[in-house]
Each structure stands twice: as C-alpha cells, then as structure tokens.
C-alpha cells in the first residue's frame, strides 16, 4: 500500500491527502492537550470515540440542512472529509457560564446565561488564540461580512439542534467550539462547518449531577476521562456494553491482568 502524504498535524488530528481531488482523510489521535498545549497527555481510545461522536453529530446536522465537510467514516479512527479553506476564527457558543467566561467576568460557573453568547477567537497557537471582535475580523479581512452572517446563523442553528439532542439524553450543553471553512465553486465560495464536534471541544454536564463528561476532566485533573467520553457515546446510542469500543484502555486492561 502506498504511503499517504501528510498534509497537516494538529493537537488532536492528522490530515492526509484524500483518495480523490478535493478530499482529505482526517485521523483522530488519542493525544490530549489543554491550556494552549501547555498540558499534554493521552486519553486512551479518545480518537476512536471522537471519530464516532463527530460522525454522528455531523450526519445529524446535515439532515437539517447544515452544510459540512464530512463525507463518511472510513474506519475506527478515520473519516473522509471535503477539503476546504479554514477560516482562521474559532467560534465559541456559550449557554452556561464556565471556563474563561467565568474567570473573565467573575460569573459563578454553572450560571445559566440570559441569552446565548457567541464569541470569536483568532486561531493562532503562538498568540494563545486571543479573543477578537467583528471589527478585527473586518479590518484584517479574515472573513467577509456575508461570511460572518452565515457563520453566526449556522452557529445558532447548530446550538439549537445540539441543545435539544443532548437534553434528550440527560446532558447539558454548556458551551462548545466550532470551526468553519470555505469551499469554492469557480469564483464563488460558501461557508461550511468543518473540524469536529466532540467532547474535546464541548462542555457537557450531566443534567442531574452536573458531572463533567468532557475534556475538563483532563484539564482539571479529575480523572475518568476515557469513561466520560464513553458515557457520551453510550448515551448517543453509539456504544453498547458488549461493543468492541467498551474496552478501549488496553494498557490499563493489561495492567489489571498483571501483564
């Protein structure tokens, strides 16, 4: 088998050249990072679970007319996606006060916000992904006003859908991150949803206990990261007790057996 050409490697994924022009293969890693990669570690089986969860959410969003880069899942860790030009803006949608919002404004974590807030951050690890305003985006030409209108409209639509989807399985969608890309048809471009949607980029709390079921368990040294990701997949109907994904932490499994 010919060796695939690597296009890009990020903190949680690797992109390879796809089998057809205009496509890429997105590989999900088990690597975990926090605080702009100052903290690093591994969550066993995370890539497998994120692949399944992101596939499920992107496929569901497509049924309500949200355009995405997702084409199909290829195997346990890879999916085929449409190549696009990533808009250098991270879009954060907040429903409940948590994380940096609580720290910046002194709002108690867990406070329900009077309305959903959309924040924008410039995608640059070296700068720490600073928060930016619409004026910055327009001034530096990172996206046109029409594109930002499409991004904001899509973000609200995704939020409405995901809030309902997670509430139906007893999970509170606190906040989450989205990324968008441009695809070109001749001289015309349009915005599509890109990257991934998984517990890596969402804050997900159990609605009864407020137990955290996302990467905050890694950020805050709470432990049980793999189990939390598995619980999200299980509630979404992607993981059965007897499924092959139920035993993901092979290293821990071998240690328990004394090997």
What local confidence, expressed as pLDDT, does residue 252 receive?
A: 44
With respect to residue 75, please indicate whether it lies within any of the assigned structural domains.
yes
Reading the block at residue 237, the tokens are: 């109907």
CA distance 16 to 8: 7
Considering the domain architecture, whether residues 65 and 91 belong to the same structural domain is answered as no
Q: What range does the domain containing 148 cover?
A: 85-206
- Residue 250's pLDDT band, with cuts at 50, 70 and 90, is very low
What local confidence, expressed as pLDDT, does residue 39 receive?
A: 87
What local confidence, expressed as pLDDT, does residue 246 receive?
A: 47
CB neighbours (10 Å) of residue 71? 16
Q: How many domains does the chain have?
A: 2
Considering the domain architecture, whether residues 125 and 137 belong to the same structural domain is answered as yes
pLDDT at residue 224 greater than cutoff 90: yes
Its pTM stands at: 0.91
Mean pLDDT on 86-95: 98
What local confidence, expressed as pLDDT, does residue 2 receive?
A: 57
Percent of the chain predicted with pLDDT > 70: 92
With respect to residue 214, please indicate whether it lies within any of the assigned structural domains.
no
What local confidence, expressed as pLDDT, does residue 84 receive?
A: 97
Q: In this structure, are residues 57 and 233 in contact, taking their beta carbons and an 8 Å threshold?
A: no
Considering the domain architecture, whether residues 146 and 40 belong to the same structural domain is answered as no
What local confidence, expressed as pLDDT, does residue 1 receive?
A: 44
CB contact set of 138 (below 8 Å; sequence gap of 6+): 145
What local confidence, expressed as pLDDT, does residue 241 receive?
A: 63
With respect to residue 212, please indicate whether it lies within any of the assigned structural domains.
no
Considering the domain architecture, whether residues 36 and 109 belong to the same structural domain is answered as no
Cα dihedral 155→207→51→216 (10° resolution): 90
Q: How far apart are the first and last CA of the chain?
A: 33
pLDDT at residue 188 greater than cutoff 50: yes
- Residue 251's pLDDT band, with cuts at 50, 70 and 90, is very low
Cα dihedral 247→251→255→258 (10° resolution): 90
33-47, 165-179, 224-238: least confident range = 33-47
CB contact set of 170 (below 8 Å; sequence gap of 6+): 206, 207, 208, 235
Considering the domain architecture, whether residues 119 and 47 belong to the same structural domain is answered as no
Considering the domain architecture, whether residues 11 and 76 belong to the same structural domain is answered as yes
Mean pLDDT on 229-252: 71
Q: What is the DSSP string of the chain?
A: -PPPPEEEE-SSEEEEE-SSTTEEEEEE--EEEETTTTEEEE-TTHHHHHHHHHHHHHHHHHHTT--BSEEEE-SSSEEEEE--EE-SEEEEEEEE--HHHHHHHTPPTTPEEEEEEEEEEE--GGGT--EE-HHHHHHHTSS-HHHHHHHHHHHHHHHHHHHHHHHTTTEEEEEEEEEEEEEEETTEEEEEEES--STTTEEEEETTT--B-STHHHHTT---HHHHHHHHHHHTTS--TTSGGG---HHHHHHHTT-
Considering the domain architecture, whether residues 71 and 99 belong to the same structural domain is answered as no
Mean pLDDT on 154-169: 98
What local confidence, expressed as pLDDT, does residue 187 receive?
A: 87
Q: What is the CATH number of the domain that holds 70?
A: 3.30.200.20
Mean pLDDT on 124-144: 96
What local confidence, expressed as pLDDT, does residue 243 receive?
A: 61
Considering the domain architecture, whether residues 76 and 91 belong to the same structural domain is answered as no
Which long-range CB contacts under 8 A does 54-58 form with residues at least 24 apart?
54/28, 54/79, 54/196, 54/197, 54/198, 55/79, 56/236, 56/238, 57/162, 57/165, 57/197, 57/198, 58/193, 58/197
What local confidence, expressed as pLDDT, does residue 255 receive?
A: 38
Tens digit of each residue's pLDDT (9 = 90 or more) over 22-65: 999 999 999 998 887 788 999 999 999 999 999 999 999 999 99
- Residue 245's pLDDT band, with cuts at 50, 70 and 90, is very low
- Residue 133's pLDDT band, with cuts at 50, 70 and 90, is very high
Considering the domain architecture, whether residues 95 and 71 belong to the same structural domain is answered as no
């Amino acid at each position: 088998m010919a060796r695939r050409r690597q296009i890009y490697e990020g903190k949680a994924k690797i992109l390879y050249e796809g089998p057809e022009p205009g496509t890429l293969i997105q590989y999900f890693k088990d690597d975990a990072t926090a605080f702009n990669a100052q903290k690093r570690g591994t969550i066993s089986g995370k890539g497998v679970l994120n692949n399944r969860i992101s596939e499920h959410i992107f496929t569901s969003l497509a049924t309500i007319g949200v355009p995405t880069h997702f084409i199909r899942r290829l195997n346990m860790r890879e999916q085929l996606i449409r190549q696009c030009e990533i808009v250098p803006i991270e879009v954060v949608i907040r429903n409940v006060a948590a994380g940096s919002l609580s720290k910046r404004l002194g709002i108690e974590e867990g406070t329900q916000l009077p309305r959903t807030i959309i924040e924008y951050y410039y995608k640059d690890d070296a700068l720490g992904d600073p928060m930016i305003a619409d004026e910055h985006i327009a001034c530096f030409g990172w996206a046109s006003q029409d594109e930002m209108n499409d991004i904001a409209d899509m973000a609200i639509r995704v939020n409405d859908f995901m809030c309902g989807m997670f509430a139906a399985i007893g999970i509170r969608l606190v906040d989450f991150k989205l990324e968008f890309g441009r695809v070109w048809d001749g001289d015309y471009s349009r915005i599509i949803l890109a990257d991934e949607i998984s517990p890596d980029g969402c804050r997900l709390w159990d609605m009864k206990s407020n137990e955290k079921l996302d990467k905050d368990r890694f950020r805050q040294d709470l432990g049980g990261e793999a189990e939390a990701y598995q619980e999200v997949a299980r509630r979404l109907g992607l993981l059965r007790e007897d499924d092959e994904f139920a035993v993901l932490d092979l290293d821990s499994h071998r240690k328990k057996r004394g090997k």
